[in-house]
């Protein structure tokens, strides 16, 4: 069936699902050990960040969207990168995430930075008993959701005033995609991201606003730090053959600038998308 703007939602949904499944099947094929029950447990601590930071233009845009006293449902809240600033801006935040480690990091950050007004719920979206909020919010969550249609249906059903999504033009894991040929001997199957998300909203008959900015190139304090990030994205273990290949090729593929180490020197376009449910 053709959507209201002449785009076929079914075709876009099928292609989104195909890309997510291809990405996941490739990961399962090269994985050196079975997946941990909590994928983010080894790196959850790295997601904690100062909620009062002033060097992130996208966060200023999100703060301005908050109407004091309303409720924001942060789906896939992680360690609170956005949940804490939204609470400081006057929202009552329901932070939902399936990772125990991430939610532990969220609670630690709430204590460390003295931020209240956040309720943490351990659950995977869509959940059987979804909370209802004024705003349903996702940040860097939808890239690997194969069943994106039901995910968005549930998100819109839980929002009274607005839905908001923060997405990059490339999924964050794409930063390590250039390492795949050297480590695994094949290119990485890439996930859908902001362009595909916008096309899908249009196909669903949604008119939206988009603020466009960018996220700077991701820098690391050392080559060892890049190795830690890359091992997770390559699904290899510190003592395995993949890690040995990574260690050999990384110095030639990474570079240093002003004491930081990078896999790419280009910023990534970032969008904040808002639409009425």
**Which residue from 182, 225, 243 is spatially nearest to 46, judged by alpha carbons?**
225
Confidence tier at 265 by pLDDT (50, 70, 90): confident
- Pairing type for strands 118-122 and 92-97 reads parallel
Rounded Cα–Cα distance for residues 273 and 209 (Å): 6
pLDDT at 42: 57
Handedness of CA 10, 12, 14, 16 (dihedral sign): negative
Rounded Cα–Cα distance for residues 57 and 85 (Å): 13
pLDDT at 164: 98
Rounded Cα–Cα distance for residues 239 and 262 (Å): 23
Residue 33 has pLDDT above 70, yes or no: yes
Q: What is the mean pLDDT of the chain?
A: 93
pLDDT at 34: 86
Our measurement of the distance from residue 138's CA atom to the centroid of its chain's CA atoms, rounded to an integer in Å, reads: 8
Structure tokens at 63: 């703060």
List, for residues 170-208, the tens digit of each pLDDT value: 999 999 999 999 999 999 999 999 999 999 999 999 999
List, for residues 131-179, the tens digit of each pLDDT value: 999 999 999 999 999 999 999 999 999 999 999 999 999 999 999 999 9
Got the DSSP string for 55-98?
S-HHHHHHHHH--TT-EEEEET-TTTTTHHHHHHTT-EEEEEES
List, for residues 88-120, the tens digit of each pLDDT value: 999 999 999 999 999 999 999 999 999 999 999
Rounded Cα–Cα distance for residues 68 and 74 (Å): 16
pLDDT at 35: 78
CA-to-CA dists, residue 121 to 72, 129, 130, 154, 166, angstroms: 13, 11, 10, 16, 21
Q: Rounded to the nearest 5°, which phi and psi values hold at 95?
A: -100, 110
Order of strands, sheet of 255-257, starting from the edge strand that comes earlier in the sequence: 219-220, 260-262, 255-257
Confidence tier at 37 by pLDDT (50, 70, 90): low
Tokens 């630690």 locate to 108
């Amino acid at each position: 069936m053709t959507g209201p703007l002449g785009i076929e939602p079914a075709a876009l949904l099928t292609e989104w699902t195909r890309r997510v499944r291809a990405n996941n099947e490739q990961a399962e094929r090269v994985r050196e050990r079975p997946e941990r029950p909590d994928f983010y447990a080894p790196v959850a601590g790295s997601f904690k960040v100062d909620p009062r930071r002033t060097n992130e233009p996208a966060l200023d845009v999100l703060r301005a969207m908050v109407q004091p006293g309303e409720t924001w449902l942060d789906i896939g809240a992680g360690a609170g990168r956005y949940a804490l600033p939204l609470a400081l801006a006057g929202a009552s935040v329901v932070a939902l995430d399936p990772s125990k480690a991430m939610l532990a990091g969220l609670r630690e950050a709430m204590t460390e930075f003295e931020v209240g007004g956040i309720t943490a719920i351990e659950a995977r979206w869509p959940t059987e008993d979804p909370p209802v909020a004024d705003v349903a919010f996702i940040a860097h969550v939808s890239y690997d959701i194969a069943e994106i249609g039901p995910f968005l249906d549930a998100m819109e059903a839980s929002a009274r005033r607005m839905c908001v999504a923060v997405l990059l033009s490339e999924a964050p894991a794409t930063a390590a995609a250039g390492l795949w040929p050297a480590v695994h001997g094949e290119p990485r199957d890439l996930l859908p991201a902001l362009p595909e998300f916008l096309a899908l909203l249009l196909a669903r008959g949604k008119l939206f606003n988009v603020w466009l900015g960018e996220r700077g190139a991701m820098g690391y304090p050392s080559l060892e730090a890049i190795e830690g990030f890359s091992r997770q994205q390559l699904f290899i273990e510190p003592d395995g053959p993949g890690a040995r290949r990574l260690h050999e090729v990384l110095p030639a593929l990474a570079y240093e600038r002003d004491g930081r180490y990078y896999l790419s020197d280009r910023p990534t376009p970032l969008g904040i998308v808002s639409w009425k449910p």
